[in-house]
Copies of this chain bind each other. A is one copy, B any other.
């Protein structure tokens, strides 16, 4: 299965520490060798670094790890391909523009029988179920709200309804951001932590590296980090419940609600069900 990493902050913050550990899982401490990507929002602009190479050994990942890009919203992904070849166009996060904002999307899971028709407002470039899902979500938002940008509350409510449509069809952990908020769906597993004063020390789970946030932060700073598996081994990460949707804003939880947990606990369960034809 792929892994996700998201960050949402109230002041522009770099993700170098978290990404140091995360990238190791792309071919060193874990098996997600089929490419990686990371997208940063800076103001209304965004930059996305994509690489079909394993992140643990990528020149580009080394640059991202060592070059501090300060951002309010970040989405990263390391891929273990389930559907779609290992190619640049199948590498997450995917980017589209809607209502004059960039939108980034990364997906961890598989929705083997969910290919709803698209109207041609957004069209996938690659051949993953993930990009199809992203295009479908943005098309539905565009059709519901027209050319008018919805409020955060209306956006969250619309995303909940859309998520209920596909949550039962497979595994649909995802991160979505428009640079203003970061939305996270926990279908099987996802954890988060909100780091705020009083700050402490954190130690990476995937490499022997620590950081003392007291030395790097101001008292009002607040950062939410969301990830498939906790990145540090000495902090209190919160497991999100399967079947829950979260909106983060300014480094904190803005809203949350129930959706539907995946009927499959793991990708192996899903693969077995697909092979047996029990649900598909």
Considering the chains assembled together, what is the distance between the CA atoms of A60 and B69 in angstroms? Answer: 11
Of all chain B residues, which has the CB nearest A102?
A: B125
Partner of A125, one of B45, B48, B59, B121: B45
Q: Does A108 contact B (CB under 8 A)?
A: no
Q: A60-B63, A120-B147 are in contact. Are A88 and B47 (CB under 8 A)?
A: yes
A65-102 contacts to B (CB < 8 Å)? 67, 87-91, 95-102
**Total copies of this chain within the assembly:** 2
Contact A101 B88 (CB under 8 A): no
Chain B positions within 8 Å of A161 at CB level: none
Q: Does A50 contact B (CB under 8 A)?
A: yes
Least CB distance from A120 to B in Å reads 4
Chain B positions within 8 Å of A279 at CB level: none
Q: Does A124 contact B (CB under 8 A)?
A: yes
Least CB distance from A44 to B in Å reads 5
Chain B positions within 8 Å of A147 at CB level: 120, 123
The residue among A44, A59, A124 with the most chain B CB atoms within 10 A of its own CB is A44
Q: Does A126 contact B (CB under 8 A)?
A: yes
Contact A45 B97 (CB under 8 A): no
Contact A89 B124 (CB under 8 A): no
Least CB distance from A130 to B in Å reads 14
Contact B48 A48 (CB under 8 A): yes
Contact A89 B125 (CB under 8 A): no
Partner of A100, one of B50, B51, B125: B125
Considering the chains assembled together, what is the distance between the CA atoms of A123 and B142 in angstroms? Answer: 12
Contact B100 A124 (CB under 8 A): yes
Contact B126 A97 (CB under 8 A): no
Q: Does A122 contact B (CB under 8 A)?
A: yes
Q: Does A42 contact B (CB under 8 A)?
A: yes
Chain B positions within 8 Å of A101 at CB level: 125
Contact B45 A126 (CB under 8 A): yes
For A114-150 the 0/1 string (1 means CB < 8 A from B) is 0000001111111000000000000000000011000
Contact B95 A45 (CB under 8 A): no
Considering the chains assembled together, what is the distance between the CA atoms of A245 and B277 in angstroms? Answer: 55
Considering the chains assembled together, what is the distance between the CA atoms of A120 and B147 in angstroms? Answer: 6
In the A-B complex, list the 7 residue pairs whose CB atoms are closest, starting with the nearest. Answer: A45-B88, A45-B89, A120-B147, A100-B123, A44-B89, A42-B88, A47-B50
Q: Enumerate chain A interface residues (CB-CB to B < 8 A).
A: 42-51, 59-60, 63, 67, 87-91, 95-102, 120-126, 146-147
Can you name 9 A-B pairs with beta carbons within 8 Å? A43-B89, A45-B50, A45-B126, A47-B50, A49-B49, A63-B63, A95-B95, A96-B97, A101-B125
